[in-house]
Amino acid sequence: RFLANTTFDGLSGHIKVKGSSIVSSENNFFIWNLQHDPVGNPMWTRLGSWQEGKIIMDYGIWPEQAQRHRNHMQHPTRLHLRVVTLIEHPFVFTRDVDDEGLCPAGQLCLDPLTNDSAVLDNLFESLQGGNDTVPIELKKCCYGYCIDLLEKLAEDMNFDFDLYIVGDGKYGAWKNGHWTGLVGDLLAGTAHMAVTSFSINTARSQVIDFTSPFFSTSLGILVRTKDTAAPIGAFMWPLHWTMWLGIFVALHITAIFLTLYEWKSPFGMTPKGRNRNKVFSFSSALNVCYAILFGRTAAIKPPKCWTGRFLMNLWAIFCLFCLSTYTANLAAVMVGEKIYEELSGIHDPKLHHPSQGFRFGTVRESSAEDYVRQSFPEMHEYMRRYNVPATTDGVAYLKHDPEKLDAFIMDKALLDYEVSIDADCKLLTVGKPFAIEGYGIGLPPNSPLTSNISELISQYKSHGFMDVLHDKWYKVVPCGKRSFAVTE
């Protein structure tokens, strides 16, 4: 009764007592529950928070709250998490549900096109209630590398989950005073976990938790091979036009001298020769010279006089040198023909000092854009106009609309997959990899699940489960080795 209707400051901040039993504080406090993780170690799980004298429970975490869901009544102590993902092949694919709104394969997920927590609450409650009123166009079947990993974690950690696709389609970046995408959903409490090709970088790690990486990759550069259909005059490429002109001028001069020698010689095939039935004319000399130049046998009239024959042999030797030079240059031209955009890597001058018309970009608000912005501000300022909303957009521009993009910078794990499934084999990665990074599972800051999931991921790596996933989702394609790495 001594504290009734009093206010004071203590270690917990400013405390106000109303009556004799209501205690309020300006500070907020979290409520934790001690459980056991899948390997038997103690694990703290956040149940909710105490704010302004009221208990606010996290969705699905309070054990008794799970009893509201009919399909969880046998397991009231199982955790129930909300997981956000982002479509990125081969880590997450989507397909339409069947006519009954179910997924014969994969996990049912929602594509609500919003990150409003209240809207998501209503959708998932409707989905798990007796009357499913969720529009079928919002339902998708999610599958892929990360979905397999999520199912394995749910099995080993004994939790259930609701899965949805991030509303704005972004990984997450600091924009207009708040975080967008996956990071924003985790910070707002809309999701308890983010599972996709989620790159671990410094900016994100400062505001959310990441597990240990389950996939190691780097950034790469994707380009498109050029159409190799040669023009009609491509056979003339090995020699300069002055060389071609000189050869044909020499041919006609040689033909003229062959004709003169033959006509001036008493042994030549002329009307004045020794009973010759045939006449060696200028056209005959041209026929001989062209046949020797192109190495083709033809019905020719060879000269009969010794001077003419000697000149014909000199012309044959000259043609041999010309043919050898032409063949060697033709091989060099065909090998050295530029069939793709040559880039040595992120430090290539074409990227730092792009010529007029050279276009390259990356995905907006991705780790690739964050890396370029911090490391090469001028390059980032130039490429902003060519950045695209998603990886699939950048790949589509390269393949079908090359006038919009000449090179695409993104995670090499994603680019390698796009190269491997390209039926026309027009895509390839070039240059040295750069900006080594890893994919991790994102969680809210100070999440008690971080250490437990990291430990399980380490076990999966050592036991070969991650290798099985890699082989399942990567080793299926015709052009998988089309990578041109340039080394110094």
Rounded to an integer, what distance in angstroms lies between the CA atom of residue 474 and that of residue 417?
A: 7
Is 199 annotated as contributing to ligand binding? Answer: yes
∠ CA 377-342-337, rounded to 5°: 155
DSSP 238: T
Q: Please say whether the beta carbons of 469 and 439 come within 8 A.
A: no
Is 367 annotated as contributing to ligand binding? Answer: yes
Rounded to an integer, what distance in angstroms lies between the CA atom of residue 185 and that of residue 189?
A: 6
Tell me the backbone φ, ψ of residue 147, rounded to 5 degrees: -70, -40
Rounded to an integer, what distance in angstroms lies between the CA atom of residue 191 and that of residue 83?
A: 6
Residue 337, SS3?
coil
Residue 7, SS3?
strand
Is 185 annotated as contributing to ligand binding? Answer: no
Residue 289, SS3?
helix
Rounded to an integer, what distance in angstroms lies between the CA atom of residue 467 and that of residue 149?
A: 12
Strands (E), 382-454: 407-411, 427-439, 442-443
Residue 448, SS3?
coil
Reduce the secondary structure of 41-66 to three states and give it as a string: CEEEEEEEEEECCEEEECCCCCHHHH
Is 276 annotated as contributing to ligand binding? Answer: no
Residue labelled with tokens 């079908």: 400
∠ CA 376-175-382, rounded to 5°: 30
Measure Cα distances from 191 to 120, 183, 306, 344, 439 in Å: 10, 10, 98, 40, 18
Handedness of CA 462, 468, 471, 474 (dihedral sign): negative
What six digits make up the tokens of 445?
């800051």
What six digits make up the tokens of 281?
């004319």
DSSP 211: -
Count the residues in the chain. 488
Rounded to an integer, what distance in angstroms lies between the CA atom of residue 368 and that of residue 122?
A: 35
Q: Please say whether the beta carbons of 405 and 394 come within 8 A.
A: yes
Binding residues: 199, 204, 367, 411
Binding residues for L-glutamate: 199, 204, 367, 411
